[in-house]
Amino acid sequence: MSIKVVRTKSEFEGTISEETALVDGRDVAAWGADAGLTIVGKRQTRVDGIARVTGRARYTQDVYLPGMLHARVLRSPYPRARVRRVDASRAQALAGVRGVLHRSNAPKAAFRGEESIFRDEVRFAGDEVAAVAADTEETAAAAIRLIDVEYEILPFVADLEEAMRDQAPRLDEKGNVTESGKLDRGDVTRAFADASVVVEATYRTSTQLHNSLETHGAVASWDGDELTVWESTQHVFGVREGLKTALRIPYSDIRVLCDYMGGGFGSKGGAGKYTIIAAVFARRLGTPVRCVLTRDEENLAAGNRSATYQTVRIAARGKKIHAIEHLSWSNAGQGRWVADPTGPTNGLYDIPNLRTRSYKVVTSLGALASFRAPGYVEGTFALDQAIDELAERMGEDPLALRRRHIARASDPVTGLRYSLKRLAACYDVGEREIGWHHRKPDGLRGSAPHRRRGYGMASQLWGGSGLPPAYATVHLNPDGTAVLRCGTQDIGTGTRTVLAQLVAEELGLEVGDVRVELGDTNSQYAPISAGSLTVASVGPAVRLAAKDARLQLLDAASGLLEVGATELRVERGAVIGKGHRTPIGEVLGQVKDFTVIGKGSRF
């Protein structure tokens, strides 16, 4: 095996970073149209369907361990306040309460750049102030109401546009507003002066809450110095990283598991404070602890999609869009990053003159969290509404106008050539399927005078190329069944099924003969299940592992069957060569306990 060093620029959820990765020098070619696939690309019901319809699928919230305690969190009712005093004596005295954590007695635990999980100055309504572990959830819930907290209430600002004003309470040393993205192309000032039509518009989008059905939560259990955490997450290795940083324990002592998970929509990318609380309590009290957010807490403190305030100036010259200026402000709450709503404006259409700016606005709200194409949904709304308004002023068909601005050859931001660009084909299909030719610019009047029916369209842009590295192993058992191990997650998108298909196709098995084990940091590293990058990241590693297993199997079979390896192939669970079809189990069964272990990775 040859290991190569790869340096790439990668973009994840709006942040471009330089990355260095060590990768397996082997590669696997993409399957072409002539690959003769029999499993991949064919209809396949979910391999975990039975587990999911029988109630047997075990989600984090279904993990109940012997002796497990229940933790609940006391959260600040104020958007900004200094915590002067926490008196937990009444809570501690309640029968069934086993422990209380707050800023005076909690161990130092680094979390997202801060030293403790409990702040001296709380920054949003819902910020963690204390936590209780008790025998039952009811007792824990009663106990947090008995914690006496003295707050010094401080000035706050939660609204985006209020926070942008000069007289707003200053929440950050650098000011509430900081520039988070910019792009300049061509000469916008001159382009607007030369324009034949100019439209100016302001767009606002509101805060959105993810509300995954399974709330954020974790169960922590220690065995000596070894910590096991079950967490509802899109990234078990991200949770492991958070635990390592907070608890200062080595990777080898941490195991994070997520078998089934009830939705994340971007918000479950790493450890939460509830994870640390469960782990700290479990260690201190010597018994497993479960800390699962209630629905109220989920809405207060588990992330949101930022509200935005956006202005767009768009100009036409002749039949074409000549220039766009798009400025966007996002309410990041207490988030350390912010998504970029100008992304679609920068890269979706081919526009000669462009000026975009995006700004992060700090407010007294909970931190934003990634939420299904963060920033891009908000930005597309503003951009494509503005294009519609421009088309109307120009007397143009909105679809025809967009067709003139497809970036055909290369990405307008990076300049990289597209390997494939199908936007024009998407427009054709959309036009046909929704019956665009029926559209009337003024809409169709309905039965009630205030009601109209209309046709609308928009385009969307998102990059989902993969996030290196990813690793996988495929064990081929002597009976011809296989086990794939990969530390990715199935968040409901069908990852288990897709990976089983890949292994079956590449290794020559039936899908039913492949068992897929995911969501375990004791397995092989895989990136976050987010940003439409899972199959692109993990798929090639899984294929390589299956291919490696197939080649080893053929090697072994060649010796056992006394046929040259190049004359053999594997198909539907059997080794085929020289007119003979021998089931894998029969070939490998000749050698007791022989197991093929295939390995794969991808950059």
Q: Can you tell me the distance from the alpha carbon of 340 to that of 330, in angstroms, rounded to the nearest whole number?
A: 8
Q: Can you tell me the distance from the alpha carbon of 405 to that of 560, in angstroms, rounded to the nearest whole number?
A: 62
3-state secondary structure (DSSP) of residue 369: coil
**Stretch of 4-12, 23-31, 42-50, 558-566 contacting another protein, by CB under 8 A:** 42-50
Q: Can you tell me the distance from the alpha carbon of 482 to that of 489, in angstroms, rounded to the nearest whole number?
A: 19
The number of CA neighbours under 13 Å toward the Cβ of 442 is 2
Q: How far is the CB of 48 from another protein (least distance, A)?
A: 8
Query: Does 512 help bind another protein (rule: CB under 8 A)?
Result: no
Q: Are 454 and 483 in contact (CB under 8 A)?
A: no
Site string for another protein, 243-282 (x = CB under 8 A): -----------------xxxx-x-----------------
Return the HEC string of 448-508.
CCCCEECCCCCCCCCCCCCCCCEEEEEEECCCCCEEEECCCCCCCCCHHHHHHHHHHHHHC
Within a 10 A sphere around the Cβ of 370, how many other Cβ atoms? 25
Q: Which residues of 106-128 are buried (b: 16+ CB within 10 A; e: fewer)?
A: beebbbbeeebbbbeebbbbbbb
Q: Which is nearer to another protein, 121 or 138 (CB)?
A: 138
* Binding to another protein in span 159-218, by CB under 8 A: 211-215
Strand pairing class (569-571; 254-257): unpaired
Q: Which is nearer to another protein, 356 or 488 (CB)?
A: 488
Q: Which residues are CB-contacts of 417 (< 8 A; sequence separation ≥ 6)?
A: 409, 410, 411
Q: Which of 65, 99, 358, 331 is nearest to 222 (CA)?
A: 65
Tokens of 532: 């439409």
Within a 10 A sphere around the Cβ of 602, how many other Cβ atoms? 25
**Stretch of 116-124, 267-275, 419-427, 491-499 contacting another protein, by CB under 8 A:** 491-499
Q: Which is nearer to another protein, 55 or 579 (CB)?
A: 55
Query: Does 46 help bind another protein (rule: CB under 8 A)?
Result: yes
Cα radius of gyration rounded to whole Å, the chain? 28
Q: What is the DSSP letter of 181?
A: E
Cα–Cα distances (Å) from 25 to 7, 55, 219, 460, 564, in that order, read 14, 43, 39, 35, 27
Q: Among residues 9, 42, 52, 182, which is the contact residue for another protein, using CB under 8 A?
A: 52
Query: Does 55 help bind another protein (rule: CB under 8 A)?
Result: yes
Q: Which is nearer to another protein, 211 or 582 (CB)?
A: 211
Q: How far is the CB of 345 from another protein (least distance, A)?
A: 28
Q: Which of 120, 118, 145 is nearest to 129 (CA)?
A: 118
Q: Among residues 4, 9, 42, 56, which is the contact residue for another protein, using CB under 8 A?
A: 56
Query: Does 294 help bind another protein (rule: CB under 8 A)?
Result: yes
Q: Among residues 21, 40, 57, 560, which is the contact residue for another protein, using CB under 8 A?
A: 57
Q: Which is nearer to another protein, 45 or 419 (CB)?
A: 45
Q: What is the DSSP letter of 228?
A: E
Q: Which is nearer to another protein, 9 or 56 (CB)?
A: 56
Q: Which is nearer to another protein, 138 or 225 (CB)?
A: 138
Query: Does 93 help bind another protein (rule: CB under 8 A)?
Result: no
Q: Among residues 464, 492, 583, 585, which is the contact residue for another protein, using CB under 8 A?
A: 492
Q: How far is the CB of 369 from another protein (least distance, A)?
A: 15
User: For tokens 């025809």, what's the residue?
Assistant: 400
Q: Which of 152, 107, 112, 111 is nearest to 131 (CA)?
A: 107
Q: Which is nearer to another protein, 213 or 426 (CB)?
A: 213
Query: Does 4 help bind another protein (rule: CB under 8 A)?
Result: no
Q: Which is nearer to another protein, 73 or 109 (CB)?
A: 73
Give the residues across from 514 on adjacent strands. 482
Q: How far is the CB of 51 from another protein (least distance, A)?
A: 8
Q: Which is nearer to another protein, 235 or 402 (CB)?
A: 235
Tabulate helix, strand, coil % of the chain (nearest 5). 25, 30, 45
Q: How far is the CB of 237 from another protein (least distance, A)?
A: 20
Q: Among residues 6, 22, 35, 49, which is the contact residue for another protein, using CB under 8 A?
A: 49
Q: How far is the CB of 63 from another protein (least distance, A)?
A: 9
Q: Among residues 9, 85, 174, 295, which is the contact residue for another protein, using CB under 8 A?
A: 295
- Please count the residues of this chain forming the interface with another protein, following the rule CB under 8 A: 33
Q: Among residues 11, 19, 62, 411, which is the contact residue for another protein, using CB under 8 A?
A: 62
Q: Among residues 9, 58, 85, 190, which is the contact residue for another protein, using CB under 8 A?
A: 58
Query: Does 39 help bind another protein (rule: CB under 8 A)?
Result: no
Residues that bind another protein (CB under 8 A): 45-46, 49-50, 52-59, 61-62, 64, 137-138, 211-215, 260-263, 265, 294-295, 491-494
